[in-house]
Amino acid sequence: MSVGNKKKHRETALKAWKTIKRKRREKAAKKSKRLTQFIHPKAIREIKHPEIVDFEESLEPIWKGNRIVVPFHKTPPNIACGTFWELRWAYGCPLNCSYCYLRGTTRGRLKPQYVKIDHILKALDEAFMKIRKPAILNAGELSDALMNPPLMAEIAEKFEEQDKHKIYLLTKLGLKSIEFLLEKPRNQVICGWSINAPNVARRWEKAAPSPEERIEAAKQVRAVGYDTRIRIDPIFPVKDWKSLYAYVLNRIMSNLTPDRIILGTPRGLWKTINYAQKAGVDMSWTRFFKEDTGWGKKLAFEQRVEIYQFFFDKLESIGYPLPQISICKETIDVWKALGLPYVGRICSCYGRNALIT
C-alpha cells in the first residue's frame, strides 16, 4: 500500500471511530437528556443523601444552613470525613455514569432540575454573612457543576462580590462548558475535574467527554489562572490497572500541575446499586466489591491500600507535594495503614483545610 493510501486509510478509520463514539454517547445520554426544569428551594432542601445516618454532629457549632446552602456533617464514625458545605443550585446530572451515587440520591431521576437564580443569590447572601470561617461551597455534590454554564456563570460572579468563601466547580464535562471560565480568571472559584482511565471511562462513563478532553479543559482553565484540581475517582482495579492509571496520571501531569489531587475507590451504596439495576446500565462495576463499610460496599481493604500507595508513590517520584493529596470517603483504618495524619470530623477534599494548597 502506498504512503498516500495508508494516510487515506487512517483518516477514514479515524472518521469512522469518531462517528461510532458520537453515536454511543448520544445513546447513553438519551435517558438523561437535559431539560431546563426548576425545583423549588424547599424541595431541594429536603433531599437526603442515602449514605447519611444520624450520628453525632460535628463538635464545632456551625450555622445550620438554608434551603440551598446546606452543611454536610453526618458521616459514619469509621469514615475519615467531616463537614463541608453543599451548594444545592441544581439536582441531577445528564451524564448517566453507571456507578454514580446520584442514582440513589435522586431515586433514579437523573434529569437535571435547577433552582431559580434569584433564590440562589439570596441564599448566598445569607451564607456569606453567617458562615463565620472561610469555606468552600461544593457545587458538584448533587449535580455536575458545569451542566448549565450560563446559570453557573451568574453564580460564580456572585462569589466575586466577597473574598472569604469560594465555590468549587466539580465536573466531568469538557471544552464546550468552560467558555465563561476562559473569559477571565475569578479569585473565588475553584475548578475541579473528575478524570478516569480511558478504558474505564469508555465502559462506565459513556455519556461524558473523554478523559483527554477533560484534561484539556482543565489545562486551559489552569492557564487562565484558576485554582484547578483533579479528582481520580473511582479508581477501578481492572486488568492492568497500574499501567492504565499510570498512563492517565502521566497525561494529567504532562498538561498541568493540579493544585490538589483527590483519590477515591468505588463505593457501592445499596440505593445506588438498586437504581442502577433498574436503569439497566452496565453493572459489571459492582464485581469488585469485597467488603461492607460505613460508606457502602468497597474493595478489599488490602487492595484499597495498594491502590492509594501506588498513586502516592507515583506522585512522590515526580515531586508532587504529598500534603496536597487527599483520599475521599475512606475508612480511618486505611488512613492509618497509609501513615496519613488523621484528624477526626475534617473533610480533606472540600472542607476548610482544603482551602490551603
19 lies in some domain:
no
For residue 282, how many other CB atoms are within 10 A of its CB?
13
Instruction: Encode pLDDT of 99-151 as tens digits.
Output: 999 998 888 889 999 999 999 999 999 999 999 999 999 999 999 999 999 99
Write out the E strands in the chain: 37-38, 69-72, 84-87, 90-91, 113-114, 136-138, 166-171, 189-194, 227-232, 260-263, 291-293, 296-298, 325-327
Q: Are strands 166-171 and 136-138 parallel, antiparallel or unpaired?
A: parallel
2 lies in some domain:
no
3 lies in some domain:
no
Which of 1, 115, 161, 132 is closest to 71 using CA atoms? 132
Question: Cell 498513586 sits at which residue?
Answer: 311
For residue 356, pLDDT over 90 is answered with no
Q: Which domain holds residue 257?
A: 28-355
The CATH number that applies at residue 252 is: 3.80.30.30
122 lies in some domain:
yes
Q: Which residues pair with 53 in a beta bridge?
A: none
Position with higher pLDDT, 99 vs 23: 99
58: DSSP letter: P
Which of 55-69, 207-221, 228-242 shows the lowest per-residue confidence on average (mean pLDDT)? 55-69
Q: Which three cell numbers stand for residue 291?
A: 467488603
293 lies in some domain:
yes
Question: Cell 450555622 sits at which residue?
Answer: 63
Burial 29-54 (b: 16+ CB within 10 A, else e): beebebeeeebebeebeeeebbbeee
For residue 27, pLDDT over 80 is answered with no
pLDDT of residue 353: 85
Which of 325, 311, 317 is closest to 260 using CA atoms? 325
Residue type at 305 in one-letter notation: V
For residue 63, pLDDT over 60 is answered with yes
pLDDT of residue 1: 56
Distance separating alpha carbons of residues 84 and 307, to the nearest angstrom: 25
Q: What is the mean pLDDT of residues 179-195?
A: 98
Q: Which residues contact 259 (CB under 8 A, 6 or more apart)?
A: 190, 227, 228, 229, 324, 357
For residue 347, pLDDT over 80 is answered with yes
Position with higher pLDDT, 161 vs 38: 161
For the chain, how many structural domains are there in total? Answer: 1
Total-model pTM: 0.84
311 lies in some domain:
yes
pLDDT of residue 187: 97
Distance separating alpha carbons of residues 228 and 262, to the nearest angstrom: 12
For residue 239, pLDDT over 50 is answered with yes
pLDDT of residue 254: 98
Q: What is the mean pLDDT of residues 292-316?
A: 96
223 lies in some domain:
yes
50 lies in some domain:
yes
Q: Is the peptide bond before 234 cis (omega within 30 degrees of 0)?
A: yes
Q: What is the mean pLDDT of residues 297-316?
A: 98
